[in-house]
Structure 1
Amino acid sequence: MSTNKSVSLLKAVKPYKQGWRIQVRLIHSWRQKTIYGGDSLEMIFADVTGDKIHCSCKRTYIQRTQCDLRLGEWHMIDVFSLSNATGQYRTTNHTYNQIST
């Protein structure tokens, strides 16, 4: 049985569906520590069309993610969830934020 999933563009991903597969390039990353959220790894990804999305990595996955993702390299990501991008500080124009799990 084939398990090939088609690759979606960032503008197509929506939170109502699971199982998206995206091909993105890491263009920026930083560590962030907040009082209410703790330590997190924040990243900006871009797809082949230039659309960008902000991604937050949970504390338990920071070490593995930092080792696997290199700046400027292309990556296939298929395990993530989306949430609405709200608030005063938005790093991209994308409607949603990606949360790596």
Structure 2
Amino acid sequence: LCNFMARIPDKIRSIDGSKETLKLTVRITNLWFVGTPNKYEQAEMVFVDSEGDQIHAICKSDHLKSWKADLKDNCTYVMHNFKVVKNDGQFRVCKHEYKLFFIGVTVVREADLHELPFKEFRFVEFANVVAGNCVWPVGWRVQSQFVLSF
């Protein structure tokens, strides 16, 4: 095995804010950019691990230049070292209690990890939507006749 695979990866489920020297093997299932390109822009993404657990990760503009070309939707990575913060904002991308921020010592290596799941869709019957019998993911709400996703 490669040197960067020597340490056993942490699971997203185990992230509890007690350490920042995490080693994660993840797939980026959602990646989007917020702000003005080439001025103030940050990358926001959702990571999923081998257990299907998800966590929100953010790469702010001061670190984005280092990683923008390497971060791609549906690609798999081995990543180390993040700032771990409470996920207690008004609009939460994932239900995980914490979210991750890239920092100066974050390491990102693309890796061929086919066992990591892709984005999971949770379909519901339209009649249940109309009747209000759905449990919506965090950050979703129903307005009038439309389902809005953030």
Question: TM-score per shorter chain, which class?
Answer: 0.7 to 0.9
Structure 1 position 19, deviation (Å): 1.4
Equivalent residue number for residue 88 of structure 1: 90
Larger Rg over CA atoms:
2
Which stretch has the larger CA shift, 74-83 or 2-11? 2-11
Taking every aligned residue pair, what percent have the same amino acid on both sides?
Answer: 24
Question: Structure 2 regions of 5+ residues with no counterpart?
Answer: 104-150
Contact kept, 8 Å, 2:31 with 2:72, in 1: the verdict is no
Paired amino acid for 1:56: I
CA–CA distance in structure 2, aligned partners of residues 20 and 12 of structure 1:
10
Superposed, 1:1-101 pairs within 5 Å as: 4-33=6-35, 38-101=40-103
Kindly tell me the number of residue pairs found equivalent between the two proteins. Answer: 97
SS at match of 1:67: coil
Paired amino acid for 1:88: Q
Greater RCO, CA 8 A, separation 6+:
1
Structure 1 position 64, deviation (Å): 2.6
SS at match of 2:68: helix
